[in-house]
Amino acid sequence: MTTNSASDKRHDNPDEVRQTGLNQGLVNYGDAGFSLFLRKAFIKGAGYSDDALNRTIVGIVNTGSGYNPCHGNAPQLIEAVKRGVMLEGGLPIEFPTISIAESFSTPTSMYLRNLMSMDTEEMIRAQPMDSVVLIGGCDKTVPAQLMGAASANLPMLELVTGAMLTSGHRGVRVGACTDCRRYWGMYRGQEIDDQEIEEVNAKLVGSVGTCSVMGTASTMACISEALGVALPGSASPPAVTADRMRVAEATGRQAVINARAGVTPDKILTEKAFENALRVLLAIGGSTNGIIHLTAIAGRMGIDIDLAAFDRMSRETPVLVDLKPSGQHYMEDLHRAGGLPTVLRELKPLLHLDAMTVTGRTLGEEIDAAPAFEQRVVHRFDAPLYPAGGIAFVRGNLAPGGAIIKQSAADARLMEHEGRAVVFEDAEDMAARIDDPTLDVTAEDVLVLKRIGPVGAPGMPEAGYLPIPRKLARQGVRDMLRISDGRMSGTAAGSIVLHVTPEAALGGPLALVENGDRIRLSVSERRLELLVDEAELARRREGWRPVALTAERGYRKLFLEQITQADQGCDFAFLRPPTIQRRVPK
Ligand code: FES
C-alpha cells in the first residue's frame, strides 16, 4: 500500500484520515474492510496483481470520442501517459468523462462546459486515485477540466491533445479555422464557386488535433502552461508528432511524482499564476473566450478577475505572437519557434517568475532552462506585432457590466466609430433577414444581435461573429462593427464587441436598442454608448417584457436557474465557492 501524504480536500470532513491508492474513497457498505475486499476482487477480475494494485494510482481522463476529431489522438496519448506512469513506478488507470467537440455540440459547446466540469470533478472525487492527468483539447474541454480539477483539488496535470497540421489548397497554406471563415466569406461574396468551396472543405483540417491557429483551444493550451498546471513546452507540439507523445510520457511521470509530493492545485493556481495567465492571454493575441474561462477557473479558487484592472494590464501588454487570427502563422510554427517558453522569455519583466509550476520549479526557472534562438514567429517585446493587449474592456450605458473587443484582430478604422443600429432581436431573426436584399443596411451601420447571452440562447453561442449581410459582402465589404451579448470563436477576426453585460434576455440595455438608434464605440476611451436620452430609454424599459427563462426539467432547467453572467465566467452559481475573497490583477 502506498503511504503518500497528499493533502486532500476531496472529503468534506477535515478529520477524515487521508487514504491513498486503492483503499481511498471506499464505497459505503457500512464495513470498510468488506468494501476494500470487494473492490479488489472485482479489479483482480481484470487481471491486476497485488503488486500493481499497491502502487501510486494515476487516473487518466480519456476524452476520446468518435464525435471529437480534435481528440483523435487520445488513444496514443493515453498509451504514452501510461508508459510514463509505469516508468515512475505508478499504476495508470484510465476512465472516461464527457467529451465536447465544438462543431458537434448543440446548441453550443459552452452549454455543456459546466456539465463536463461537474463530471470531471465528481469522477475524480468518486474513484480511487492519487493524482490525475486530464487529456483535453477542444475549446471547452480544457476549461471544464481545470474548473472541475481545481474544485476537486487532487494533484493534477493538464495534457492537451495538440494542434492539427496545416494543409494546402491550390498552393495556399490553410488550417482551421480562421481560413474556414475566410473562404466562407469569399463564397458568400461570390469570389469562389460551389466546386471550390467543396474542394477547400476537404483541405482545411490536415489531421486530428485542435484548431491550428490561436483559437480558444490553442489559447487554453498556452494558458494551462502559463498557469503552471501543464508541463513547460507542452502547449505547442502538434497532435500527431513525436514531441507530443514525449510530452504525454513526461506528464505521466510527473503525475506520479506530484502524487507522492502532494502537489495539489491550490499550490499552483495562485493569484500570481492567474496574473501570469492573463498576461499570456494578451501577449498571444488569445481568444476572447479565454477571459471567460479564466474567470470561471479562478472563481473555483475563490479568486475574482477584475476586468477593469485586466484592461489596464492590456494597455501595457503587447501582442507578441504572430499567429492567425491576429497575425499570419499557425501553431506548428509557434512550436518550431520554441513554443510558449519563447513568449514567456520576452514577457519576463511582466511576469511573476516565482510562481510555482507542476514540475516543482518556478516559472522563471523553467524559462531560463528553455533554449533561446533566432525565430520569426514571436516578436521581441520592444518590436511587438500589436502595441497594446489583444483584448480591450469597454463600458458605457450600453454595457454597464462591460463588454470586450479583440482589437488586435479588428479593423483599426472601426475602433473609433459611430453608426446607425441595424437590430436583430435574436439569432432566428438574424438568420431570417441578414441576407434579405431589401435589408436597410450600409457598411457604416452597426449590426446589433440580442438574446445570444448565457441564458438568452441559451449557452452564449459563438454567434457574435455576425455574417456581413450578403448584399454588402458582394460589394466587397469584409468588416463592420458588430455588437452582441454572445461570444465568438477564437479563430474569428473582425470589429466585434462581445459579452455585453448584462445580457438582453435579462433586460440589459442591449434589449432596448431599436433600429436607427445611434451607437458610438471608442476603444481609446474604452466607451460603448447608446446615444439615446435617458427619458426615452426609461420609456422603452417600461414596455420591455421578459421571455420566460425556464424549463420543465433536466439539465436545461439547472442551466437556466444557475448560469451566471460573463463577468463571473458563466459558471453555475452553486459550483462557485460561497465567498470570493481575492481579486486579480492587482
Ligand atoms: Fe476543436 Fe477548434 S473545433 S479545437
In terms of Cβ atoms closer than 10 Å to its own Cβ (0-12, 13-18, 19+), residue 172 is: exposed
Residues 501 and 528 sit within 8 Å (Cβ to Cβ): no
> CB-based contacts of 105: which residues, under 8 Å, 6+ apart?
111, 112
Task: Enumerate residues lining ligand 1, CB below 6 A.
Answer: 70, 101-103, 138-139, 177, 210-211, 215, 217
The helix (run of H) or strand (run of E) holding residue 257 is helix 242-261
> Angle CA(399)–CA(404)–CA(407) in degrees, nearest 5?
135
* DSSP annotation of 579: -
Least Cα distance to 305 among 295, 315, 318, 316 occurs for: 295
Residue 38 contacts residue 185 (beta carbons within 8 Å): no
The reported pTM is 0.94
Residue 71 contacts residue 63 (beta carbons within 8 Å): yes
* CA-only gyration radius of the chain, Å: 24
Burial category of 3 from C-beta neighbours within 10 Å (exposed 0-12, middle 13-18, buried 19 and up): exposed
Q: Report how far apart the first and last C-alpha atoms of the chain are (Å, whole number).
A: 45
Q: In what order do the strands lie in the sheet with 156-160?
A: 91-96, 57-62, 131-136, 156-160
Q: Ligand 1 atom closest to Cα of 489?
A: 2
Q: Mutation test of ligand 1: which of 210, 219, 323, 324 has the most ligand atoms closer than 8 Å to its C-beta?
A: 210
At residue 145, the 3 state secondary structure works out as: helix
The Cα–Cα gap between 510 and 439 comes to: 21
Per-residue pLDDT of the chain (586 residues; tens, 9 = 90+): 333 333 334 434 444 445 899 999 999 999 999 999 999 999 999 999 999 999 999 999 999 999 999 999 999 999 999 999 999 999 999 999 999 999 999 999 999 999 999 999 999 999 999 999 999 999 999 999 999 999 999 999 999 999 999 999 999 999 998 999 999 989 988 999 999 999 999 999 999 999 999 999 999 999 999 999 999 999 999 999 999 999 999 999 999 999 999 999 999 999 999 999 999 999 999 999 999 999 999 999 999 999 999 999 999 999 999 999 989 999 999 999 999 999 999 999 999 999 999 999 999 999 999 999 999 999 999 999 998 878 999 999 999 999 999 988 899 999 999 999 999 999 999 999 999 999 999 999 999 999 999 999 899 999 999 999 999 999 999 999 999 999 998 888 899 999 999 999 999 999 999 999 999 999 999 999 999 999 999 999 999 998 777 899 999 999 999 999 999 999 999 999 998 889 999 9
Which atom of ligand 1 approaches the CA of 211 most closely? 2
**Closest ligand 1 atom, residue 70 Cα:** 1
Closest listed residue to residue 98, CA positions, set 555, 573, 549: 555
37, with CB counted inside 10 A (0-12, 13-18, 19+), is exposed
Sign (positive/negative) of CA torsion 349, 355, 361, 366?
negative
Nearest-angstrom CA–CA distance, 157 and 265: 9
| Closest residue by CA, ligand 1 atom 1 | 138
**H-run or E-run covering 212:** none
CB 174 within 8 A of CB 166: yes
Ligand 1 nearest-atom number relative to CA 103: 3
Helices (H) and strands (E) in the chain, counts: 20, 16
d(CA 291, CA 294): 5
